[in-house]
Chains A and B, each alone.
Chain A
Amino acid sequence: GAVVSQHPSRVICKSGTSVKIECRSLDFQATTMFWYRQFPKKSLMLMATSNEGSKATYEQGVEKDKFLINHASLTLSTLTVTSAHPEDSSFYICSARARDSYTQYFGPGTRLTVL
């Protein structure tokens, strides 16, 4: 149980384009989803927290207009990186938590490369 998927697993795009990453909870209802980014050999960095049906809460320093998060259902959250630049290249990981649960389960991650 507690399986979280992400799609795509890897994406390469040109600078200036937008990229959408999907995060799905496959066998539970995720009332809260989290988006992280991680640079090579660095720690996880929380970007934002989203609750189903509500606007996402962004961490300090994360541009909400650049990283658009939508949590439209209890099983799906999306992260859109708008007008991507090479410095946005990173490993993006989502996690999900069910209602009344204390535990986050991570998706497999999406490796974004912006040329």
Chain B
Amino acid sequence: QKEVEQNSGPLSVPEGAIASLNCTYSDRGSQSFFWYRQYSGKSPELIMSIYSNGDKEDGRFTAQLNKASQYVSLLIRDSQPSDSATYLCAVNVRNTGGFKTIFGAGTRLFVKA
């Protein structure tokens, strides 16, 4: 089992719809979770971080965390064509000396105009 798993997609949604991106992780002790967006040919940029169970909202983005189910998701409301990108889930997992960040392979999102 991979440490961080995401559906590779592509996930296609119409403009204005809600895009739902999901991620599961294996380390039950993980405490920090992140979503990054990566446009084609560009480097990842941080969208949100979440540390506590529940929802965290920032503009059109909502991150949801359920540690019991080892599941973190990202909802994008009112999806726009400019949201088309690969979304990377990242989880800090424990290792000797502290922690390391594990990235999922990413989910490609297409928002159709």
Contact = CB atoms under 8 A, between A and B. Distances in A.
Interface of A: 2, 34, 43-44, 49, 91, 93, 102-109
For chain A, what secondary structure do more than half of its interface residues adopt (helix, strand, loop), or is it mixed? loop
A108 B101 contact: no
A77 to B, nearest CB: 15
A104 B49 CA distance: 10
A103 B34 contact: yes
A43 B103 contact: yes
Given A43-B103, A43-B106, A44-B88, A109 B42 contact: yes
B75 interface: no
A106 B45 contact: yes
B32 interface: yes
Contacts of B17: none
Contacts of A102: 31-32, 49, 51, 92, 99
A93 B43 contact: yes
B21 to A, nearest CB: 16
A105 B101 CA distance: 12
A79 to B, nearest CB: 14
Given A43-B105, A44-B88, A44-B103, A106 B44 contact: yes
Nearest to B98: A32
A107 B46 contact: no
Contacts of A107: 43
Contact of A108 (B32, B34, B42): B42
A108 to B, nearest CB: 5
Given A43-B103, A103-B32, 7 more contacts: A44-B44, A44-B88, A102-B92, A103-B49, A104-B90, A106-B46, A109-B42
